[in-house]
Amino acid sequence: MRALDQSVANEPINWDELERLVRHTVEEIPEEPMKIIKFSEGYSNHTYLLTIGDWEAVLRRPPFGEIPAKAHDIKREYTILSRLHGFYPLAPKPYFYKDDPNIMERHFYLMEKKQGVVVNDSLPVSYGSSEMAGPKISKGLIDSLIELQQVDFKKANLLEIGKPEGYLERQVHGWIKRYRASKTDEILGVAELENWLIRHMPASPDTTIVHNDFKLNNLVLDPEKAGVVKGVLDWEMATLGDPMTDVGAVLTYWGEAGDPDMGISVVTNQPGFPSRREMAELYAQMSGRDISCIHYYLAFGFYKLAVILQQLHYRWKKGAAMDDRFAALNGPVANLIEMANLARAHKIL
């Protein structure tokens, strides 16, 4: 008998038809019943763990209910993974994409489950101390980012996933627009920061694949060997553009001891983990890239994270989100704006 997690038992999905499709399409599926557990839901794409014996896979689909016409483009995500996996094995291998109303009302795709651990705010006991694990994890993260940036996106047939020309300019103006659309409180230094981001935009280096959310807790690590990266997750925002924006994202989420509340989980503030400056220098050493404009990308990274949190706070304040954790996010937003201004003044790094 199929085992359904309580979170999926009442969802309008024909699990029988889905199981038949899986067994017909994917090779060497065990005979045991299929089990389904929901990983995540809400305003992002929904993610489910499918287990049949010792075989596991991940199903992704858009949220239920009304969504914007061009949002949650599961087919684009599937296409990226299907072309990228052969050149960058850390990207999960997709099994199939389907748009079948007999199974569910939205399109979806199935991909392999990368086996390992995801580190948020604590380290696996198997890693030992943070002094032992920190340097290994740091190098593994930089290695996996550089490996992605070295992928020949033309050979991978990924030319159509982005428009590199004007990428950084579109990003900066787009995030400023998002902030202004979700503004609630007057925060000191926002206008000056936005003007600086527009006026001091550096010339982008060579074009690479940009993950657009490259951070530690989007990596799947080996459960026993700290620093061995088994997979990179969350490809829905991947595109072509300025590789330094991913470096800025890494440094933004790479919290240090003494940082104010940034509204995110942090493990890198423990002893043994390099500082942001040391991470930037490690990237420069390993990649050979010029990082002379890194303060710009870090300031922009802090600003983007502030906007993400501001949008959540705005939705809570307008009654569109009931999660009370969003109520206090205006504090971290103000902290991040201050950190962005410190970064642009070269007082961080």
For residue 80, how many other CB atoms are within 10 A of its CB? 21
Whether residue 140 is predicted with pLDDT greater than 70 in this model: the reply is: yes
Confidence category of residue 261, pLDDT binned at 50, 70, 90: very high
All residues at 6 or more sequence positions from 208 whose CB lies less than 8 Å from its CB, including other chains: 148, 149, 150, 151, 153, 240, 241, 243
pLDDT band for position 42 (cuts 50, 70, 90): very low
Q: Please state, in angstroms and rounded to a whole number, the distance separating the CA atoms of residues 137 and 230.
A: 12
Which residues lie below 8 Å from residue 324, measured CB to CB, with a gap of 6+?
A: 316
pLDDT band at 144 (very low <50, low <70, confident <90, very high): very high
pLDDT at 72: 63
pTM as predicted: 0.92
- Cβ neighbour number for residue 240 with a 10 Å cutoff: 19
Mean pLDDT of 203-209: 96
Q: Closest Cα partner for 216 from 175, 245, 252, 240? A: 252
pLDDT score recorded for residue 44: 67
| Closest listed residue to residue 40, CA positions, set 60, 11, 19, 65 | 60
Residue range 23-43: average pLDDT? 85
**pLDDT score, position 70:** 52
pLDDT tens-place string over residues 282-312:
999 999 999 999 999 999 999 999 999 999 9
The angle formed by the CA atoms of residues 149, 152 and 157, to the nearest 5 degrees, is 120
pLDDT of 225: 97
From residue 156, give the alpha-carbon distance in Å to each of 111, 186, 212, 307, 337.
18, 46, 18, 32, 38
Whether the pLDDT of residue 68 is over 60: the answer is no
pLDDT of residue 10 exceeding 90: no
Mean pLDDT over 58-86 rounds to 82
Q: Is the pLDDT of residue 43 over 60?
A: no
Percent of the chain with pLDDT over 90: 87
| pLDDT confidence tier of residue 246, bands split at 50, 70 and 90 | very high
Selection from 84, 69, 76, 78 nearest residue 154 by Cα: 84
Kind plus residue range of the DSSP H or E element containing 95: strand 94-98
